[in-house]
A and B are shown apart, each in its own frame.
Chain A
Amino acid sequence: MSSESISNVPPSVKGVDRDKDMSSHPINVESKGVNFWYGDNQVLFDVSLQVPERSVTAFIGPSGCGKSTFLRCLNRMNDLIEGTRITGELQIEGQDINAKDVDVVLLRKHVGMVFQKSTPFPKSIFDNVAYGPRIAGQRNRAYLADLVESCLRQAALWDEVKDRLQDSAMALSGGQQQRLCIARTLATKPKIILMDEPASALDPASTSRIEDLIGELCNEYTIIIVTHNMQQASRVSHQTAFFFEGKLIELARTTQIFTNPKQKQTEDYITGRFG
C-alpha cells in the first residue's frame, strides 16, 4: 500500500470478464511447492499456485525470474534439456504429471504450447494444422479437413487462408504464422493452452488480434500466458501471478494486483522501478 497512484488498469479485451467469479470453476492446474534445478542451479523456489478452468492467467516478472521455466514444467518440455530436476507436486486435473506412469506424449497433446517465435513447419498450411492429429493416428481425410477448418476459424485465420490451404506456411506473414501455430495447437484438442510471450515478436496490429483471440478462446480453454508486457497482462487475464527471482511473489485477480498489490516487490515492478 503506498500513496503513489498506480496507472489505471486498461480495459480488458472482449471476452474476458475480469470480474467474473471463478470460484465455481474446478482447478485445472495446481502446483504445490515446486522446486526446479538446471544442473546445480536452482531456478524455482517453492512455487505454489492454482489455475481455475477456462480462465486466463498471466505470469509476469522481469527477465530471468523463472516464469517461462515454470510454464515449460507444465507440459514437461523441460525434460528435453539435460540435467534438469524437479521436486514438489505439479497436478493437472488432479493428476501428478511427473508420476512414473504418465505418458508425456499424451500429456503434451492435452497441454498445448505456443512459442514466442512462430515456428510453422516447412509444409502446407493444411499439413501444419493436421500434423498433431495425424501423428496421433488420425487418418480420416474428411475428419481432418473439418478439424483443420474449425481450428483455423477459432484462430481467426480461416478467411485469410481458406483458398490456399495447400500453399506453404512459410509464405504467411509473422502475425498469420503465429495464428497458424495457435490453430495447430488447437488441433490436438487440448484443455490447457500455454503461451510463452506469443505476441512479443509481432507488430501492434497482430498483437491486438492475438489478444482478441485469447478473449475468444478462454471460453473453452484454460490459458496461461507469460508476458513481459504489463498492459497486455492486464488486458487479457483474469488473474495474474508475479514471479521474481524464482519465487512466486503474489497471485491475485488482475484488477486487484494492478491497482492495489499486496507485496512491495509487486508494486515496485508494476510501477516500473525495475525490470
Chain B
Amino acid sequence: MKPSVPAFLRKGRTRKGSDKPHEKAIGFLLLLCALVSVGTTISIILVLVNDGIFNFVGEKAFFQQVSLKQFLFDSKWLPDSPEPRFGIWPLVNGTFMVSGIACMIGVPLGLCSAVYLSEYAGPAERSVLKPVLELLAGVPTVVYGYFGLVFVTPYVLKPLFETLLGFEVDTFNVASGGIVVGIMVTPMVASMSEDVLRSVPRSLRDASYALGGTQFDVSMRVVVPAALSGILASVLLAFARAIGETMAVTIACGTFRRIGVNPFESMQTMTGFIVDASFGEDDAQGIVVKSAFAVALSLFLITLTINVISQMILRRYREVYE
C-alpha cells in the first residue's frame, strides 16, 4: 500500500466551511441585503423627523413652525386656509371612527369564521372557504373604496338608514368606509385567530368533551378563553391595519374635517388628508406638505405602538403554549 499523503492540508483555516475568499464575499453580500431592511426603518424615521420635527437640509420642519401644543389641542385642522389651524383631532377622530366601525364588523366576522373553520368545518369545506377568504384579502383597496362608494352607500346604507330609519346619509360617509375596511380586515382576523385557536392543545379539547361538553361548550368556554390573548393580539393588529388604510377611506369617506360621532357624515381620516395634501401639490416646502409629514409621523407612531404591543402579547401567548 503506498503511503497516502492526506490532501486536506491546505492553507485556509475554518470551522464551518471553506474559507475561500469568495465564500466570505458572498456572506458579506447577503448581510448587506439583510441590512437593507434596517436601512429602510432608519430612512423612514429620518424622513419623518426631517420634515416633521427637525430639518437637516435647511428647510423648516413642521414642528419648527407649529407648536406641539397647537397640534395636540386645537380643534380644527385647516392647513390650507388663509388662517391656518393645525389641531390634529378632527383627523384622529375620523381615523378612529373608521377603524372602530371596521373592527366592530371585522372582528366578530373574522372570529366567528375562525371558530367555524377550526372547530366545525370539515376538510372539504375548509379547502373551499380558506381560499375564498384569502381572495377577500387580495382585493386591492381601491376596489373596496369603489365598492363602498358605488354600492354600500346607495344600496345598503341609504335604504336602511335613510329611507327606513330616517337618518340622513351623506354621499361620502364614515360608515361605508368603515364597513368596507371591516370586510378587508376580516380575513386577517380570521387567519390569525385560526392559527391561535389551532395551537390550543388537543388535550384541552378532549378533556372538555370527556366532561360532557357540547361543541359550543368546548369552543366558547374552553378553547376561545384559552386563546384569548392571542385573539386580542390579532384584534390589535387588525385595528392597526384599519388605521393605516388609505385608499378605501379616501374614496368613500370624504374630505370634511370635523369632530363628531355621526357615522353617516363625511369625515376625513389622517391617511385621507395625506393623500389630499400631496395630490397635485408641487410645493414641497409649503406648510401643507409639511403638515402631511406631521400627520404621517403621528400615524407611524400610533401603528408602531399598537404593533409592538400586539407582538409582545403574541410572544407571551406562544411561550405558554409552545
Asked if chains A and B are in direct contact (CB within 8 A), the reply is yes
* B-contacting 9-mer, from A57-65, A95-103, A251-259: A95-103
CB distance from A95 to the nearest CB of B (A): 5
CB distance from B21 to the nearest CB of A (A): 14
How many residues on B have C-beta within 8 angstroms of the other chain's C-beta atoms? 17
Question: Any chain B CB within 8 A of the CB of A262?
Answer: no
CB distance from B62 to the nearest CB of A (A): 48
| Known interface pairs A26-B1, A53-B1; A110-B14 also in contact (CB < 8 Å) | no
Contact pick for A103, options B5, B14, B16, CB 8 Å: B14
Whether B10 pairs with A101 at a CB distance below 8 angstroms is yes
Residue of B whose beta carbon sits closest to that of A53 = B1
Whether A26 pairs with B3 at a CB distance below 8 angstroms is yes
How many residues on A have C-beta within 8 angstroms of the other chain's C-beta atoms? 20
Cα A107 to Cα B2 in complex, Å, equals 19
Question: Inside 8 A of B4's CB, which chain A residues have their CB?
Answer: 93, 191
Question: Any chain A CB within 8 A of the CB of B7?
Answer: yes
Question: Inside 8 A of B202's CB, which chain A residues have their CB?
Answer: none
Cα A186 to Cα B139 in complex, Å, equals 54
Question: Inside 8 A of A92's CB, which chain B residues have their CB?
Answer: 6
Contact pick for B9, options A26, A53, A79, A102, CB 8 Å: A102
CB distance from B103 to the nearest CB of A (A): 44
Q: How many A-B residue pairs have CB under 8 A?
A: 49
Residue of A whose beta carbon sits closest to that of B19 = A103
1/0 contact string of A83-118 vs chain B (CB within 8 Å): 000000000110101011111111101100000000
Whether A103 pairs with B3 at a CB distance below 8 angstroms is no
Whether A104 pairs with B14 at a CB distance below 8 angstroms is yes
Cα A110 to Cα B9 in complex, Å, equals 11
Question: Any chain B CB within 8 A of the CB of A80?
Answer: yes
Question: Inside 8 A of A93's CB, which chain B residues have their CB?
Answer: 4-6
A80, A97, A102 — most chain B CB neighbours (10 Å): A102
Whether B8 pairs with A95 at a CB distance below 8 angstroms is yes
Cα A92 to Cα B9 in complex, Å, equals 11
Question: Inside 8 A of A105's CB, which chain B residues have their CB?
Answer: 14, 17-18
Whether A110 pairs with B8 at a CB distance below 8 angstroms is yes
A53, A80, A95, A105 — most chain B CB neighbours (10 Å): A105
Question: Any chain A CB within 8 A of the CB of B69?
Answer: no
B6, B11, B16 — most chain A CB neighbours (10 Å): B6
Whether B9 pairs with A101 at a CB distance below 8 angstroms is yes
Residue of B whose beta carbon sits closest to that of A79 = B15
Interface set, chain B 1-43, CB cutoff 8 A to A: 1, 3-18
Task: Please report B residues at the A interface, Cβ cutoff 8 Å.
Answer: 1, 3-18
